[in-house]
Amino acid sequence: MDRERLDKLEEFERILNYTFRNKDLLDRALTHRSFMNECQADSVRDNERLEFLGDAVLELCVSHLLMKKCRDAPEGLLSRMRASIVNERSLARMARHLCVGQFLLLGKGEEASGGRTKNSILSDTLEAVFAAVYLDCGFDETCAFIARLFSPLIDNCGEGLPRRDYKSGLQEKSQARFKVVPRYRLIDESGPEHDKVFKVEVSVSDIVSKTGVGKSKKEAEQHAARKALEEIEGSVKTTTRHP
C-alpha cells in the first residue's frame, strides 16, 4: 500500500471516528470488483466477501439495539423497524454522509458510469466497512460503532408504526370479564424537572394490582396496564387448560 493510499484511508478513519488496527481490512472494504478486474494484480481483493459478512453483522447489531430500546415491542414490529433502517436507500444515505464514494477504488468503466454515486455500490461498500470493523475489533466495539452512526434512526424508527394500546386493552378486558374499569393512581414522582420518572399503580377492583414506571404519566400507565393485562390474560389461559 503506497503512502498516498494510506493517507486517504487515514482521512476516512477520521470521518468514521475509528482507527483500524489492520488497515488492509479497510482498504479491501473500499475496493470494488471492477477495480480488481481491471488491475489484475494477485494482491488486490475486492470487497464482496466482506459485504456478505457486513450485511449479517449490521442486521445483528441493529436487532440487538432495537431489542434493548424497545423491550416490549413484538417480533413483527421489531422486524418492520429493522427494515426501515437496514435497506439500500438508508445505507446509501449514510454512506454519502460518510463520503464513502470519495475513498472507493473503482474500475475506469464503473467510474465513467457514475459508480461513486450509485445507491447499490455505496450501500454494499458500507456493509463491507462494517465487516472490516467487526474483523478488526470484534462484536461489542462494532455494535457500539454502529450505534453511534445509527442512533438517530434507531431512536426515530418507531414513529408512525402501530403500537399496542395496553390501557385500552385492559379496559376492554376488565369490563368484559369483571364488569369494572381499571383505576390509575400516581404513587411516586422523582428526579429533576427535565428528567422525571413517574410510578403509577393500576388496579382492577381487588382482582389485579400492578405498578409501572415511565418518563411520563402516560408511559407509566401503559407499563402498568401491560403488566395487569398480561396477568389477566395469563390467568385466562391457565383456567382454560385446567377447568
- The yes-or-no verdict on residue 27 having pLDDT over 60 is yes
**In whole angstroms, what is the distance from residue 75 CA to residue 65 CA?**
14
Confidence of residue 239 (pLDDT cuts 50, 70, 90): very low
- The yes-or-no verdict on residue 1 having pLDDT over 90 is no
**In whole angstroms, what is the distance from residue 135 CA to residue 22 CA?**
9
End-to-end alpha-carbon separation of the chain, Å? 75
Which of 170 and 44 is assigned the larger pLDDT? 170
Which of 155 and 50 is assigned the larger pLDDT? 50
Question: Is the Cβ–Cβ distance between 87 and 55 less than 8 Å?
Answer: no
H helical segments located in 104-243: 108-112, 119-137, 139-156, 166-178, 217-241
What are the tens digits of pLDDT across the range 204-238? 989 999 999 988 898 899 999 999 988 888 765 44
Angle between helices 119-137 and 88-97 (to 10 degrees): 70
Q: Please give the positions annotated as active site.
A: 55, 127
Length of the chain: 243
Residue type, 45: R
- The yes-or-no verdict on residue 47 having pLDDT over 70 is yes
**In whole angstroms, what is the distance from residue 189 CA to residue 196 CA?**
7
The cell numbers describing 118, all together, are: 450509485
**In whole angstroms, what is the distance from residue 170 CA to residue 174 CA?**
6
pLDDT for the residue 153: 83
Show the domains of the chain with their CATH numbers.
Answer: 3-156 (1.10.1520.10), 166-241 (3.30.160.20)
> 12: closest CA among 29, 37, 33, 35?
29
pLDDT for the residue 121: 95
**In whole angstroms, what is the distance from residue 131 CA to residue 60 CA?**
12
What are the tens digits of pLDDT across the range 81-128? 898 889 999 999 999 999 999 999 999 988 899 989 999 999 999 999
pLDDT for the residue 159: 55
pTM, to two decimals = 0.65
What are the tens digits of pLDDT across the range 152-208? 888 776 554 445 678 888 999 999 899 999 999 999 999 888 778 899 999 998 999
Confidence of residue 243 (pLDDT cuts 50, 70, 90): very low
Q: How does the average pLDDT of the chain come out, rounded?
A: 88
